[in-house]
Amino acid sequence: MIGGLGRSGATRDVSKASGAAREGAEKWEVQLRKGCLELAILASLWGGRLYGLEILRRLESGSDLVVSEGTVYPLLSRLKSLALVDSEWVESDGGHPRKYYRITAAGRQRAQEMARVWREFSSSLTKLLEPLAKEKPAREK
């Protein structure tokens, strides 16, 4: 009886630890996605003007970047205050006007710079991560 209790306690500890590891990784993933969102938005505007919902759809189809749809609009407003994008209201057929965003020259420059940092960062990190890929993930209970 006592042994049984001890074992179930240990099992609980192991599953608690792996749960915590998963939770930690999820939080990190959210931060990572958020950090990349600005670059992704600038990149989505590369080919021409889009309105908020179009930007969201493009980010959703091209990546899993969008954590919450709410984050994109304040970010667009910040990009505008930094003069990296421009905006204009355009009447639509559907009846409600849409706010279109267009990347500015400064925005293109910033996106190129961020893309360069991203490429360098990701290639050096991939190299660092090589030993992890060779090893099987720790057993989980």
Partner 1 sequence: MGPAHSSGARHDSTINARVEEYLARLRKGLAELSGEAASEIVEELRSHILERASANGETGSAAVEEALAALGRPEDLAAQYMADDLLERAAARRSPWLLLRGLLRWASLSAVGAFVLLGCTIGYFVGGCLMLCAWLKPLHPHTAGLWRLADPPDSYSLRLGFGSVPAGGQEVLGWWMVPVGLLAGGGLCFLTTQIALWCVQQFRKSQALRRG
Binding site for partner 1 (CB under 8 A): 31, 34-39, 51-53, 68-71, 73-75, 77-78, 81, 94, 96-99, 110, 114, 117
CB of 21 to partner 1, least distance (A): 20
DSSP assignment letter at 126: H
- Cβ distance to partner 1 smaller for residue 10 or 117: 117
Residues 107, 45 contacting (CB under 8 angstroms)? yes
- Cβ distance to partner 1 smaller for residue 17 or 53: 53
CB of 87 to partner 1, least distance (A): 9
- Cβ distance to partner 1 smaller for residue 18 or 54: 54
Q: How far apart are CA 109 and CA 87, in angstroms?
A: 18
CB of 25 to partner 1, least distance (A): 18
CB of 22 to partner 1, least distance (A): 21
CB of 19 to partner 1, least distance (A): 23
- Cβ distance to partner 1 smaller for residue 49 or 98: 98
- Cβ distance to partner 1 smaller for residue 93 or 130: 93
87: region left, alpha or beta (phi > 0 left; psi from -120 to 50 alpha) = beta
Q: What per-residue string of b and e applies to 64-98 under the rule 16 or more CB within 10 Å gives b?
A: ebbeeeeebeebbeebbeeebbebeeeeeeeeeee
Task: Give, in order, the Cα–Cα distances in Å from 23 to each of 5, 18, 27, 28.
Answer: 26, 9, 6, 9
